[in-house]
Structure 1
Amino acid sequence: MSLNGKYSLGILLTFVLLALVMLYVFPFINEIIGTTNITAEKFFYSRIAIWLVLIITFLYSFFIEKQSFLLWKDKKYPITFYFTAVICLYFICLIGGSFLNVLVKILTHEKFSEKMTQLSSIFKNNYLLIIFTCLTAGVVEELLMRGYVQARIERIYNNQYFGIFISAILFGILHSTYGTIGQVLVPFFIGVVFALFYKLYSNIKILIICHFMYDFVSLIVMNLIDIKHLSAF
């Protein structure tokens, strides 16, 4: 198999494994434990499953591709650049995501995600789970979607725009399990912003930090504000 063929198989493997985790990890855990309600313990195990996908993808790149996991070497920048980049990316995603959410609600009258409503209860005052959840999203999703998928798609098609938009589309699709259009469009938008940044500056650490911060602030706000009031926005 050619190297591009191995890249394609690795991307397919990564996406399928993530999709399986998103769709079936809770039914699988429910079958083992024998209950159907969502608990903090079950959600913790679901995040562990996402880390396992990262490990499998890393092993695939090492043993099958025989390539570095990150095809693009991280560039070094001054600490001031890290700070500025994280803040700018955060507000671009916040403002752009909020605009898309409002637009979707106006056009479709879409209600707040029922799954997010369920999850809000398990995050209530559970700050360790919030931190672990945000750390999982920041590290695993950025390493897989930007670090692994984006760079390989660009190599396969020799087209930087394919790498940017296909990785963003996959990122959006993976969030469709939350059950709303907004939960697909906003991650797609964030995926495009992050992928553009990664292509321009080749620094996955900044994206990990920003992704963590974006999710952390969102969950803290959800933790502090009644979900019924939050859904009005």
Structure 2
Amino acid sequence: MSLNGKYALGILLTFVFLAAAMLYAFPLIYSVTGVKAFTATNFLYTRLALWTVLLLIFLYNFFLEKHPFLLWKEKKYPIFFYLKAIVSLYIICAFGGAFLNLIIQVFTQENVSRKVIQIASLFRNNYLLIISICLTAGVVEELLMRGYIQPRIEKIYNNQYLGIFVSAALFGILHSTYGTIGQVVIPFFIGIVFAVFYKLYLNIKILIISHFMYDFVSMMIMNFMDIKHLSAF
């Protein structure tokens, strides 16, 4: 198999494994533990499933691709650049996401995802769970979506725009398991923002921190909100 073929297979495996983890982790955990309830412990096991996907792709990369996991060499920046970039990315994603959510609410009158309501009630004042959720999303999703998939799409098709679009589209599709239009459109928008940043500045660490902070701030706001007001948020 050619190197591009290995890259293509790795991308496919990444998406399939992540989709399987998002869709089937809970049924599998229920059958293994015998606890058929949406509990903090069971939810934590689903985060371990995502870390397992990351490990599998690392192993695939090491034994079959035999090339650096991050095809693009990391660039180093002064600490001030990190701070400025993280704040800028948060503002762009927060305001852009809020604007898109407003448009979706106006045109569709979409209800809040039942899954989001379940999760919001589950992590209420459970700060360890909140941190674990945000850390998993920041590390796993950025390393796989931006660090792994984006450069390989660009390499296969020799098209930087396709790398940006496809990685963001897959990012949005994976969030469709939450069951609402907003949970696809907003992650797609964030995926575009993050992918463009990664192409321009070649620093995955900034994206990991930014992703963690975006999710952490969002979940902390949800933690102190009445669940019935989540649609406005």
TM-score, scaled to structure 1: 0.98
- TM-fit CA distance, 1:196: 0.1
Report the Cα distance in structure 2 between the residues aligned to 1:98 and 1:128, rounded to whole angstroms.
26
Report the Cα distance in structure 1 between the residues aligned to 2:40 and 2:58, rounded to whole angstroms.
28
Secondary structure of the structure 1 residue equivalent to 2:196: helix
Is residue 101 of structure 2 the alignment partner of residue 94 of structure 1? no
Give the match for residue 214 of structure 1.
Answer: 214
Give the match for residue 200 of structure 2.
Answer: 200
Could you say what the CA RMSD is over the residues aligned between the two structures, in angstroms?
0.8
Tell me the amino acid that sits aligned with residue 174 of structure 1. L
Give the match for residue 23 of structure 1.
Answer: 23
Give the match for residue 227 of structure 1.
Answer: 227
Report the Cα distance in structure 2 between the residues aligned to 1:34 and 1:139, rounded to whole angstroms.
30
- TM-fit CA distance, 1:121: 1.4
Report the Cα distance in structure 1 between the residues aligned to 2:232 and 2:157, rounded to whole angstroms.
43
Give the match for residue 75 of structure 1.
Answer: 75
For 1:132-167, what per-residue CA distance to the aligned partner results, in whole angstroms no more than 9, with x for missing partners?
110000001000000000000000000000100000
For 1:178-231, what per-residue CA distance to the aligned partner results, in whole angstroms no more than 9, with x for missing partners?
000000000000000000000000000000000000000011111111111222
Query: How many residue pairs get matched?
Result: 233
Give the match for residue 114 of structure 1.
Answer: 114
Report the Cα distance in structure 2 between the residues aligned to 1:57 and 1:214, rounded to whole angstroms.
25
Report the Cα distance in structure 1 between the residues aligned to 2:4 and 2:178, rounded to whole angstroms.
33
- TM-fit CA distance, 1:57: 0.4
Report the Cα distance in structure 1 between the residues aligned to 2:98 and 2:67, rounded to whole angstroms.
39
- TM-fit CA distance, 1:120: 1.0
For 1:41-92, what per-residue CA distance to the aligned partner results, in whole angstroms no more than 9, with x for missing partners?
0010000010010011011111100010000011000000000000000000
- TM-fit CA distance, 1:122: 1.2
Give the match for residue 53 of structure 2.
Answer: 53
Give the match for residue 152 of structure 1.
Answer: 152
Query: 126-135 vs 35-44, which deviates more?
Result: 35-44
Report the Cα distance in structure 2 between the residues aligned to 1:121 and 1:193, rounded to whole angstroms.
29
For 1:96-147, what per-residue CA distance to the aligned partner results, in whole angstroms no more than 9, with x for missing partners?
1001111111111100111010111110111001001100000010000000
- TM-fit CA distance, 1:31: 1.5
Give the match for residue 191 of structure 1.
Answer: 191
Report the Cα distance in structure 1 between the residues aligned to 2:108 and 2:36, rounded to whole angstroms.
31
- TM-fit CA distance, 1:30: 1.2
After TM superposition, where is structure 1 displaced by more than 3 Å over at least 4 residues in a row? none
Secondary structure of the structure 1 residue equivalent to 2:75: coil
TM-score, scaled to structure 2: 0.98
Summarize the alignment of residues 122-133 of structure 1 with structure 2, pairs less than 5 Å apart. Answer: 122-133=122-133
Secondary structure of the structure 1 residue equivalent to 2:110: coil
Tell me the amino acid that sits aligned with residue 97 of structure 2. G
